Amino acid sequence: MQDDELLRYSRHILLEEFGIDGQARVSAAHALVVGAGGLGSPVALYLAAAGVGHITLVDDDTVDLTNLQRQIAHTTARAGQAKVTSAAEAMLAINPTIAIEPITQRADAQALDRLVAGADVVIDCSDNFATRQAVNKACVAHAKPLVSGAAIRFDGQLSVFDTRDAASPCYACLFPPDADFEETRCAVLGVFGPVVGTIGTLQAHEALKLLAGIGSSLAGQLLMFDGRSTRFDTLRTARDPQCSVCGQRPAV
């Protein structure tokens, strides 16, 4: 590791659990971030700052003035730009030593099958149920750990789905694809800006732990955040042996 890298990442390297080995793993890693909006902004910025060596950003949207209340990777001057291009500019301003691959397209099943296969960790920062299901299905197929977050109004939730562990549920175990799910969007219901920042930051936190090989993840737990009272609650989650997505995995 070069002297400038030792200096840049010194506060991580000083952590006994992280150290030079953890930083080396992070620097060699490839993270896939699906969505470059409210959740994706802090995820992208923190992964870049931490020196994740290769970051792929996927989003088909452009920066709009209504985004700027919460999507901190973007600026007024970049309104109209593709979100992945805008986010990449912000990330490189923090850390020009990493490789960023911005992909301006919808994260459909075909694209995800290719992109997930090459990633070490996948962070789902999308804003709709169909994309979350598609991301989860690709992660199960390729046995890649998934850090999933969601936020609306004053509420947020977060979990890690790591099907490399036979006991760990996948996203579909908790939220079946055929469930009668009422889609909620911040464009209609609103969202408190710091809530997406809170959840997105925690997504980056979980992703970096996975990449560095430190601590224990949120696999098997659903973390829920109530922004009105600033309170966290945790629910234990279990694998569904009848899950239509991951049910064919070996039994626990």
Instruction: Identify the band that residue 252 occupies on the pLDDT scale cut at 50, 70 and 90.
Output: low
Angle at 232 between CA 14 and CA 144, to 5 degrees: 60
Amino acid at 44: A
pTM of structure: 0.95
Alpha helices in 176-217 (DSSP H): 186-189, 193-212
Residue range 22-60, pLDDT digits in tens:
999 999 999 999 999 999 999 999 999 999 999 999 999
Residue range 163-222, pLDDT digits in tens:
999 999 999 999 999 876 666 666 678 999 999 999 999 999 999 999 999 999 999 999
Report how far residue 61's alpha carbon sits from residue 76's, in angstroms, rounded to the nearest whole number: 15
Q: What is the DSSP letter of 77?
A: G
| Orientation of helix 19-27 relative to helix 193-212, angle to 10° | 110
